[in-house]
Every structure is written in C-alpha cells, then in structure tokens.
Amino acid sequence: MGVIILALTIFPFSVRYKLAHFWATTVLWLTKLICQLDYRIEGLENILKNQNAIILCKHQSAWETIALYAIFPPQVTVLKRELLWLPIWGWAAATLKPIALNRQNQLAALKKLIRDGKARLNEGLWVLIFPEGTRTKPGVATKFNLGGCLLAEKSQYPIIPVAHNAGEFWPRYSFLKYPGTITVRIGPVIASEGRKAIELNYEAETWVETAMQDIHLTNTH
C-alpha cells in the first residue's frame, strides 16, 4: 500500500488519505480474523460532526496509530521526524501531511507543532497527538507533554481525549498479538476558548487517566 500511495503523490491529499484509511480498516479486519483481536468504541457521539479538533490519545501500542485512522475523520499525526526515514512506510507517511518534529530541539519542535498544527486545523483536518511522547506499559501513568494543549490554546480548536487498553493485547515492542477485545473510550469535548494550556492539559490528562483506571477495572471484573 505504501508503494501505491507513493505512486499517487501527484494526486490530491484526499486520494492518498482514502488509501491510508482503507489500509487501516483492512489491518483491523485482518487482526480480528487472524488474531481474534477485536475492539469496541464508547463515546462515538463525542466526535464532532461539523468541527475538527485536536485528538489527545493514550499511547500504549502500535494498534491505536492504525485504528484512529479508521475511527476519526481525516487527520494528520504528530510524530518524530525519524519515522519518515523508514523505507516505503515512512516515505508514504510523509505524503500524508504529518507534523514531523525534531525532538532534539524542543523549542523549534514546539514552534513547528503550533505553526503546522494551526495550518492543518485551518484546512479542516483533525490533528492527532500522543501527549506522552512515547508508548507506555499498561498501568503506567505518564505526564502529558504540554504541546498539544498549547496548540489548542493558540488555535482555539477543541480537544477530544481518548483512552484505550490496546497495550494489554498488542504490547509495545512485541510482534505477538493476543486475542480479546480492546476498549476505546472517546471523551467529551474540551473547549479551549479563553483557557490556558496548563488548565487544558490538566483536564485532558485527568480524564484520560481516570478513564484508563475505569477500563481496567471493568475488564477485570
């Protein structure tokens, strides 16, 4: 699929995105068929119909980087620039308008996130951010980086928090996937108008971590 997307670079972004969306839905279907790993979504009603937003999602696995393409409207992902250097996959991802950051220069990365993030939002695209910055083990709570909420403060676009337990079935750094049902919980809209990033960050982080605890308790009873 990466080769096909690269071949279609001359076509509009919407064409390449449809192929990426098709790839994501196919991977989820194959994961269910081959690995008996399914998922359920709670809070679909919280996805805004006529307004794009910033998605702040828990990061445990490779699964959510694929699944959110299938669940949410057209979006771009904030990622480390080194991923775009990977042959085929990275090159194809580079054509999908990602916001690629150089983590070695934090100030420059933050400026780029805000500049490019506002541009993508103004285009009508959603912006996906993993505020922990890296994948974390299930049960581990990691502080959210402030970047996503600074983008919300500067752009005045709303935030949608997302919690899930994909790491329990598709662990980080593991080839093995385990059967079961992943729970994805989409939170209520967090309005950003007139609010500071630190306040938004606290609200989003609190909601996600509370939802994570609830998902864990629900699945263990």
Question: Looking at this protein, which amino acid is placed at residue 48?
Answer: L
Helix/strand/coil for 14: helix
Dump pLDDT digits (tens) for 148-190: 999 999 999 999 999 999 999 999 888 899 999 999 999 999 9
Dump pLDDT digits (tens) for 28-44: 999 999 999 999 999 99
CA distance 22 to 65: 14
CA distance 161 to 55: 6
Write down the pTM of the prediction: 0.94
Apex 185 CA angle, 182 and 187, nearest 5: 165
CATH node for 2-219: 3.40.1130.10
Q: What are the φ and ψ backbone dihedral angles of 186, each rounded to 5 degrees?
A: -95, 125
Token representation of residue 107: 């100030």
pLDDT at 220 (0 to 100): 66
pLDDT at 217 over 90: no
pLDDT at 107 over 70: yes
CA distance 141 to 156: 27
Question: Looking at this protein, which amino acid is placed at residue 149?
Answer: C
pLDDT at 216 (0 to 100): 85
What DSSP string describes 113-154? HHHHHHHHHHTT-EEEE-TTSS---TT---PPPSHHHHHHHH
Q: Average the pLDDT over 5-30 and give the result.
A: 94
- Is residue 18 within a helix (H) or strand (E), and if so which, with residue range? helix 13-35
pLDDT at 174 (0 to 100): 85
Dump pLDDT digits (tens) for 56-97: 999 999 999 999 999 999 999 999 999 999 999 999 999 999
pLDDT at 214 (0 to 100): 94
